[in-house]
Amino acid sequence: MRQLSKDRVVRLTKKIMRSKILARLKTQKEEDRNRKSGIIKKKLLRTLVFNKAKTVMFYLSFGGEVNTKGMIEQTYNLGKIVAVPWTKGNGAIRPSLLRKGMRLVRGPYGAKEPAAKEFISLRNIDLVIVPGLAFDKKGNRLGRGKGCYDVFLKKLPKKAASLGLAYDFQILPFVPATREDKPVKRVLFA
């Protein structure tokens, strides 16, 4: 019998975890999603790192993820600059400004992104709000499997903080990680 490599075991484990969390996201009631997203929004607005940040990069939620729409609106109201990911077909993420009322289009992986690209330098980002299917207490993150955020987070300057957002069922005791995986500095959940 052929023995599986450690990397293969990690990939298989992540694949199983992804399918279970995706199923749970799809079956979560809308009222629970909205209530928990509101709690997470309040937690974010109270964090020191958010309050100090001048430029915050959010993800535009889809597929049952923690809803960032209200967080983005509040960020505008506080006079902060908002950026969101613009993704090339090869998975590379570039931060692009998101202005109020800007037209959005569906990107290569299903998430919406600005139709008009106004790229900003990574040096200008103070805080990145990171999506994930699952997180553990150490900040290890299970994404959708493309590695886009892992590569992006490694390029950020050290001064930039990263926060993951999750529902309580997305917090696991352990998320397998490899050298390619980049943990977030903190996770907010409800």
Assigned domain for 1 exists: no
When pLDDT is cut at 50, 70 and 90, the band that residue 4 belongs to is low
Assigned domain for 24 exists: yes
> What is the model's pLDDT at position 109?
81
Residue 68 sits in a domain whose CATH number is 3.40.50.10420
Assigned domain for 75 exists: yes
Assigned domain for 70 exists: yes
The three-class DSSP label of residue 104 is: strand
Does the pLDDT at position 2 exceed 60?
no
Q: How many domains does the chain have?
A: 1
> What is the model's pLDDT at position 5?
66
Assigned domain for 48 exists: yes
Asked whether the beta carbons of 71 and 41 are under 8 A apart, the reply is yes
- What is the residue range of 74's domain? 6-189
* pTM metric for this prediction: 0.92
Assigned domain for 58 exists: yes
